[in-house]
Amino acid sequence: AQTVTQSQPEMSVQEAETVTLSCTYDTSESNYYLFWYKQPPSRQMILVIRQEAYKQQNATENRFSVNFQKAAKSFSLKISDSQLGDTAMYFCAFMNRFNAGNMLTFGGGTRLMVKP
Amino acid sequence: EAQVTQNPRYLITVTGKKLTVTCSQNMNHEYMSWYRQDPGLGLRQIYYSMNVEVTDKGDVPEGYKVSRKEKRNFPLILESPSPNQTSLYFCASSPKPPYEQYFGPGTRLTVT
């Protein structure tokens, strides 16, 4: 079974600054995917970024980028030029490529507050 | 607009009173899932369905039932709700793995 750990329950950052959210995971699988989801106060789950384990290049989406360290089983999210709208709960998630149920295994979440 | 809808969005009920939370998607996705979200635990999969009439248990299926009679609908049934099922519930759908899962807006359930 896989586990996902987010060691920072809460973080804060000043507007326009950069913040990094940590995520580690444990798996014996070699073919998997990693995700970061954002959950704003509206509770909607929004996909931020996705990384395929077989790709060495770190994924980026505009101001969002990841640092994927496969050997260390680490998958951190960097948010550059933080905006007030980035205030949300952020979840790291793992999916085994061959999981029959397409199941996402989530970490416990990091609450991020962007301060003006 | 491509979306997953859930109803109701909020529900307060009493122990033992059967309830159903509906979920519908308009993207013709094969896969659908139910998750529950609890503080500090993230989201955990309750049940999933790979297609019509094909369902199976996720990580936390106890106390829940599902059915998939039509491709677009995947209701979650609590036949005898208990207070430990107080939670935020999400329905999700996706094409065949490993594509992105699309989440519904969530249903806040309180069982007293």
The percent of chain B in helix, strand and coil, each rounded to the nearest 5, is 5, 50, 45
B27-53: average pLDDT: 94
What distance in Å separates the CA atoms of residue A35 and residue A48, rounded to the nearest whole number?
A: 7
Q: Among all chains, which residue has been given the structure tokens 């995971």? A: A25
When scoring A45, A54, A55, A95 by the number of chain B Cβ atoms within 10 A, the one with the most, hence best to mutate, is A45
pLDDT class for B77, splitting at 50, 70, 90?
A: very high
The percentage of chain A sitting over the pLDDT mark of 90, rounded to a whole number, equals 84
Total number of residues shown for chain B = 112
Specify the pLDDT at position A76: 98
Residues of A in contact with B58 (CB under 8 A): 101, 103
Specify the pLDDT at position B99: 75
Specify the pLDDT at position B2: 84
What distance in Å separates the CA atoms of residue A3 and residue A28, rounded to the nearest whole number?
A: 11
Cβ–Cβ under 8 Å, residues B6 and B105: yes
Strands A10-14, A110-115: pairing kind: parallel
Q: What mean pLDDT value characterizes chain A?
A: 94
Q: Which of A45, A95, A100 lies at the smallest CB-CB distance from B103?
A: A45
Q: Please confirm whether the linkage preceding B39 is cis (ω < 30° from 0).
A: no
Whether B74 and chain A come into contact, CB under 8 Å, resolves to no
Is the pLDDT score of B62 beyond 80?
yes
The percentage of chain A sitting over the pLDDT mark of 70, rounded to a whole number, equals 100
B104-108: average pLDDT: 97
Is the pLDDT score of B98 beyond 80?
no
Distance from CA of B97 to the nearest CA of A (A): 6
Q: What mean pLDDT value characterizes chain B?
A: 95
Specify the pLDDT at position A56: 85
Is the pLDDT score of B103 beyond 80?
yes
B58-65: average pLDDT: 96
What pLDDT, in 10s, does the model give residues A1-31?
Answer: 789 999 999 999 999 999 999 999 999 988 8
Is the pLDDT score of A100 beyond 80?
no
